[in-house]
Structure 1
Amino acid sequence: MQRIENGISSELLTGAQWRKSRYSGAMGNCVEVAPLTGGDIAMRNSRDPQGPALVYTRAEIEAFVAGVKDGEFDDMLV
C-alpha cells in the first residue's frame, strides 16, 4: 500500500471520488473531500483540482466536524 503524505498531488490519488458541499458557491469557493482506501479522508481546494491534497484520519475529521457543529469555529466567519 502506498504511503500517503500531506500535500500529495491530487493526481496521485487515483480512483478518489471527490465531492463538495451543496452549500458551495459558483465562484469555486469550496473544499472537496474524498474517502480513501484504508479509511483516511483527503481534502483539496476545488479551484485547484490538480493541486495538493491534505490527508486526514477518520478520527481527525470526526473531531473537526464535531467542533464545527458545536460552533467552535464560528469566530472565523466574523
Structure 2
Amino acid sequence: MPAGTIDNEGEGSWFKASASASQGACAEVKDLRGQKIALRQSTDPTGPALIFTAAEFTAFVAGAKAGEFDLLGRIA
C-alpha cells in the first residue's frame, strides 16, 4: 500500500526510534485503525508501506530484541 495514502489513517503520525533519528534513513511506524501497524522507509514517505496486524508487529519486535535478525546485513 502506498504510504502517502495512509497519512490520514489511524492515530497520530509516523514516528521512528530515537536511536535511529541521527542516521536519516530510518524505518517509521504508524498506528492504524483496526489493530494494524504500518511500516515505511523514512527516505521514501510516499513509497510502499507494509501493513501488519498488531500481533505480527509485536512478534517481529520481540524477535529483533532477541537478536533473531542480527545476522541480516552481514551476509555478503
User: TM > 0.5 between the two?
Assistant: yes
Q: Which has the higher helix share?
A: 2
Q: Return the letter of the residue paired with 1:39.
A: Q
Which residue does the alignment assign to 1:53? 49
Structure 2 SS opposite 1:75: coil
Aligned CA distance change for structure 1 residues 14 and 77 (closer, same or farther; 3 Å): closer
Which residue does the alignment assign to 1:64? 60
- Identity %, equivalent residues: 45
Aligned-CA RMSD value: 1.5
Under a length normalisation based on structure 1, what TM-score does the superposition of the two structures give?
0.80
Under a length normalisation based on structure 2, what TM-score does the superposition of the two structures give?
0.82
Question: Structure 2: 5+ residue runs without aligned partners?
Answer: none
Which residue does the alignment assign to 2:33? 37
Aligned length: 71
